Structure 1
Amino acid sequence: MSNEDANISLNNELNIDKSQKKNTQNATNISPREPTSHSPSDIISNNSHDRLVGGANVSLTQVSTVHPENLSTAQTLSPSQSSKFDVYPEEYQMAPSSQVLTPPAYNNENEKNRKHNDGNHIVEIPDDAAKAQEIKNTLQTDRQIRMAFIRKVYGLLTLQLLTTVAISLFFMYFQPAKDFVNNYQLLFYISWLAAFVVLIFLFWLRKKHPFNLILLVLFTLCISYGVGSVVSLYSQQIVLEAFLITFGVFIALEAFTLQSKWDFSSWGPFLYATLWVLIFAFIFGWFLPFDRGYNIVISAIAALLFSAYIIYDTYMLTKRVNPDEYVLAAVDLYLDVINLFVAIFAILIGVCDSSG
């Protein structure tokens, strides 16, 4: 080998040694930077490695630093690709981006719904045919139940009124019955007291069949005896006039209430308060010596009050009362009609006595 070749070889070896020393010095001077936040670009610590891989020794040189610009790429690695870093077990790997779930399509229920007004309530009816038909059937069933309840109440009311009219006519036109009433006037007060007691039990047992119907019959008989005892003592013409006026007023008020769109449910407290005022006024007139004019005024107020009660009870019957309360609803209307008849009858008697 010549001297020139030997010098070239020696220079190459020196250059290689200098390059290796320079690389070693650069590697020694580089120190890892401390993470400043818990962002995706943080370097995972050795302790977190031990917890994630079950205590396996993983060096920092095996973990790549995730930069923000490469975050989307790092998150879309498949389990087979990310498992080669030995940081997370395969079952903890993120699913590929192709399997990302998308939210369901927005469904505006308000646009699919429409409103149905049955006269009492506004019901949201969906466009779905099955649900719409189900709600329609429910509304129709409720309407049928309400109509059956109304027919039952008016059926009982008709029987009660017919019983009262029949007993009253019996006392008016059958002389032995009229004589019996005149001889045993104490039974008149007993009948009204018995009606009050039966009404209390009827209120308690109004939903107990057949006790509610039995008590309703007893209550009607007691009231009918009291009314028949009163009308048997007066002129048949006055009784007939009072009956016709009461019948006409009742039919007119029923027709008005059934076709009216007004809400009469707020009348209850005022009618109740007026009733108690009227009761106390009647008691004062009974014990204190007032003239016939006072009785006529009290009777006129009573006629107006029970006319208003007919409107109120009819409205509650058709709109609010529970269908199970058919006995109590029939009693309410029956008492309204009887009290209206008694008030009109008292007005006619007072007018006739004043003019005669």
Structure 2
Amino acid sequence: MMWNQAYRKNDVESGGSGGAQPLYPAMMESPELRWGFIRKVYSIIAIQLLATIAVGAVVVSVRPISHFFVSSTGGLAVYIILIITPFIVLCPLYYYHQKHPVNYILLGIFTISLAFAIGLTCAFTSGKVILESVILTAAVVVSLTAYTFWAAKRGHDFNFLGPFLFGALMVLILFAIIQIFFPLGKIGVMIYGCVASIIFCGYIVYDTDNLIKRYRYDEYIWAAVALYLDIINLFLSLLTIFQAADR
């Protein structure tokens, strides 16, 4: 409680002007507090994305790094560790997401390990495909974010999307497993990428709506992780489509 009071005071002093408009019609809390929370979440996401870009750029540009991971048994083992590390870190991160500074340390490990995995994926992809995916991802994220804020202001609610998106994600995971054992070829990969892109576009709207209305002030880390994963998964889905089309 004391932390929340201090956090609210800091946010009002740093960003609240006293005349902010409610983000949505049924809003009962102070708009300054919610805007302060939203700014904090997007600041964390921005740092995560910059770190991901920086690490990914190093992995892509320094060729010995990528060759080490694919040309040696030790490199392959490290690559597998890097892939599973974000999933492992998510468990303690969820448990400690309100405990400072442990939450930031775990968030840093999660982001850097995932950035290495993304960089290795991009290392064997043409620059044109990466650029196309980045541009389209940025355009889609900005557009969907602006739309969600606009819709929330007019009383629209996207909480109903949760069960549908979860079910669609389960289907997507099963489809990916089928692809591993029974490859469907270029068309199958493109279908997978398109379906995944639509699902994560839905998740961006859903999680942004939760950011506006439902996340508590001490859940800034978990809110940032949710939206960061949505953006990264959308990028990887678009990368899959462009890679298949470029073959």
RMSD across aligned positions (CA): 1.6
Q: Name the SS for the 2:160 alignment partner.
A: helix
Q: Name the SS for the 1:289 alignment partner.
A: coil
Are 1:187 and 2:78 counterparts? yes
Structure 1 unaligned regions, length at least 5 = 1-116, 124-138
Q: Which amino acid aligns with 1:216?
A: L
Give CA-to-partner distance per residue, 1:172-216, whole Å, 9 cap, x none: 112332333333233222212111000111011111111111100
TM-score computed with the length of structure 2 as normaliser: 0.85
Point out 4+ residue stretches in structure 1 off by more than 3 angstroms. 117-120
Q: Which amino acid aligns with 1:172?
A: V
Q: 1:350 is matched with which residue?
A: 244
Q: 1:122 to 1:324 in 2, by over 3 A?
A: closer
Q: 2:97 is matched with which residue?
A: 206
Alpha-carbon distance between aligned partners in 2 of 1:161 and 1:122, rounded to the nearest angstrom: 30
Larger Rg: 1
Are 1:315 and 2:209 counterparts? yes
Q: 2:182 is matched with which residue?
A: 288
Q: Choose between structure 1 and 2: higher helix proportion.
A: 2
Query: Which has the higher relative contact order, 1 or 2, with Cα contacts under 8 A spaced 6 or more apart?
Result: 2
Q: 1:122 to 1:200 in 2, by over 3 A?
A: closer
Asked if 2 retains the 8 angstrom alpha-carbon contact of 1:205 and 1:211, the reply is yes
Q: 1:234 aligns with which of 114, 122, 125?
A: 125
Alpha-carbon distance between aligned partners in 2 of 1:187 and 1:349, rounded to the nearest angstrom: 25
Counterparts of residues 1-356 of structure 1 (less than 5 Å) = 118=22, 119-121=24-26, 139=29, 142-183=30-71, 184-260=75-151, 261=154, 262-353=156-247
Alpha-carbon distance between aligned partners in 2 of 1:187 and 1:259, rounded to the nearest angstrom: 44
Percent of aligned positions that are identical: 34
Q: 1:122 to 1:298 in 2, by over 3 A?
A: closer
Asked if 2 retains the 8 angstrom alpha-carbon contact of 1:300 and 1:347, the reply is yes
Alpha-carbon distance between aligned partners in 1 of 2:57 and 2:219, rounded to the nearest angstrom: 31
Q: Name the SS for the 1:207 alignment partner.
A: coil
Q: Which amino acid aligns with 2:181?
A: F
Q: Name the SS for the 2:124 alignment partner.
A: coil
Q: Which amino acid aligns with 1:349?
A: Q
